[in-house]
Amino acid sequence: MNVVDSSAWLEYFGDGPNASYFAGAIENPEQLVVPALTLFEVFKRTCQLADESIALDAVAVMLQGRVVDLGSSLAIDAARLSLETGLAMADAIILATARAENALLWTQDVHFDGMEKVEFRPKQ
């Protein structure tokens, strides 16, 4: 299973230098877990950079994976992770989702560099 964080989704949709690195995880929706929080982050940022129509198209791609909502257990697990690692709320929720799903986290967010079960590619 794969979880793609918001920075990687935005890189993919923007056809950035690392887009092909994340394409394998994104283009395999049967193995894709999507934290609901990433829908928020990608939709908001895409609206800021482009427009709502393009943002809705991006979300439609994301919805091909299995969306995981933030429930009470996941919220508590994310809070624990935040305390242990110093991660901000959004990053902790995304990592907690990946761990709950036994998934690999794909990212270019430096806060995740060196963590277990994280595929990190530095932003170019």
Averaged pLDDT, 15-19: 98
pTM of the shown model: 0.96
pLDDT at 77: 98
User: Quick one: tokens of 21?
Assistant: 């690195």
- CA-to-CA distance for 55 and 112, rounded, in angstroms? 26
Rg of the chain on CA atoms, in Å = 13
27-61, pLDDT tens digit by residue? 999 999 999 999 999 999 999 999 999 999 999 99
pLDDT at 76: 98
Q: If pLDDT is split at 50, 70 and 90, which confidence band does 95 have?
A: very high
- CA-to-CA distance for 46 and 95, rounded, in angstroms? 22
Element (H, E) at 104: strand 104-107
64-78, pLDDT tens digit by residue? 999 999 999 999 999
- CA-to-CA distance for 22 and 36, rounded, in angstroms? 19
User: Contact, 70 vs 93, CB < 8 A?
Assistant: yes
